[in-house]
Amino acid sequence: DVKVTQSSRYLVKRTGEKVFLECVQDMDHENMFWYRQDPGLGLRLIYFSYDVKMKEKGDIPEGYSVSREKKERFSLILESASTNQTSMYLCASSLTGEVYEQYFGPGTRLTVT
Amino acid sequence: AQSVTQLGSHVSVSEGALVLLRCNYSSSVPPYLFWYVQYPNQGLQLLLKYTSAATLVKGINGFEAEFKKSETSFHLTKPSAHMSDAAEYFCAVSDTGNNRLAFGKGNQVVVIP
């Protein structure tokens, strides 16, 4: 079974803090994704990566950055957390090709106070 | 870019009744389509996917979906709802050429005893 793990299930941070969310997958997938999920808005893509050190902006990249130094690990960074970044963050991975589904981690519920 | 429409953010269904969740897509090429389920405080889990092998696709937990090209639809059904089906359901379509998925806004299903 593919397993995607996220470093924290729940996280509380203060405004202005630098926040790191970590995601690890164990199936050698080329592609990794970061989404945020908000009520009524569904899933919105923040960034994705199709290879080590490669990244592309998604639909809402402002205020976020990412890092992929190893194939299995994809990090989401909030340089200076703000209250409007309070959300559920979901990581996913997939093989390359449109036929392949994405596998999701359990999510990190981040609260910025 | 491909897109998905799911109408009705909240769907109530009586236990034992038919579950029907509608999904319409727009795609300039033959699509690959997916239904995911999200239980409370968890990540998304694949229910089923359409990859052009058969128009009626069977998934996990008794769900199935039918691809209808003429209607650009991929509606999800289950003949008899269980309490355990209470969850949020997302339809998604592969975006051409970039390994992304375009998600609908989701349907929150409530099962009434």
Answer for the pair A101, A4: CB distance below 8 angstroms, yes or no: no
Per-position DSSP letters for A6-60, written without gaps between them: ES-SEEEE-TT--EEEEEEESS--SEEEEEEEETTTEEEEEEEEEETTEEEE-S-
Q: How far apart are CA B108 and CA B11, in angstroms?
A: 6
Write out pLDDT tens, residues B54-65. Answer: 899 999 999 999
Most B CBs within 10 Å, among A4, A88, A101, to test the B interface: A101
| Interface touch B41/A107, C-beta < 8 Å | yes
CA dihedral over A60, A77, B91, A27, signed as positive or negative:
positive
For the CA atoms of chain A, what is the radius of gyration? Answer: 13
| Interface touch B49/A101, C-beta < 8 Å | yes
B103 vs A contacts (CB less than 8 Å): 42-43
Rounded mean pLDDT of A8-30? 96
Q: A100 pLDDT band (50/70/90 cuts)?
A: confident
Give the pLDDT score at B48: 96
Give the pLDDT score at A52: 93
The number of C-beta contacts closer than 8 angstroms across A and B is 56
- The tokens for A26 are 């164990």
- Could you tell me if A11 lies within 8 Å of chain B, comparing CB atoms? no
**Of the candidates B89, B83, B102, B104, which has an alpha carbon nearest to the alpha carbon of residue B13?**
B83
**Residue A86, min C-alpha distance to chain B (Å):** 15
Token pair 């650009």 is at which residue?
B72
| Interface touch B43/A102, C-beta < 8 Å | no
Give the 3-state DSSP-derived string for B42-72, with helices as H, strands as E and coil as C: CCEEEEEEECCCCCEEECHHHCEEEEEHHHC
- Burial status of residue A80 (CB atoms within 10 A of its CB: 0-12, 13-18, 19 or more): exposed
* Residue A98 predicted with pLDDT over 90: no
Give the pLDDT score at B52: 81
**Of the candidates A99, A104, A98, A96, which has an alpha carbon nearest to the alpha carbon of residue A37?**
A104
Per the model's pLDDT, the better-predicted residue between A1 and A18 turns out to be A18
B94 vs A contacts (CB less than 8 Å): 98-99
Write out pLDDT tens, residues A35-90. Answer: 999 988 889 999 999 999 999 999 999 999 999 999 999 999 999 999 999 999 99
Q: A91 pLDDT band (50/70/90 cuts)?
A: very high
- Could you tell me if A108 lies within 8 Å of chain B, comparing CB atoms? no
Q: What distance lies between CA A76 and its chain's CA centroid?
A: 5
Q: How does strand A4-6 pair with strand A19-25? A: antiparallel
Give the pLDDT score at B33: 93
Q: How far apart are CA A87 and CA A98, in angstroms?
A: 28
Give the pLDDT score at B72: 93
Token pair 């199936």 is at which residue?
A27
Letter for the amino acid at B80? S
Give the pLDDT score at A2: 67
Mean pLDDT, rounded, of chain A:
94
Residues of chain B with pLDDT under 50: none
B102 vs A contacts (CB less than 8 Å): none
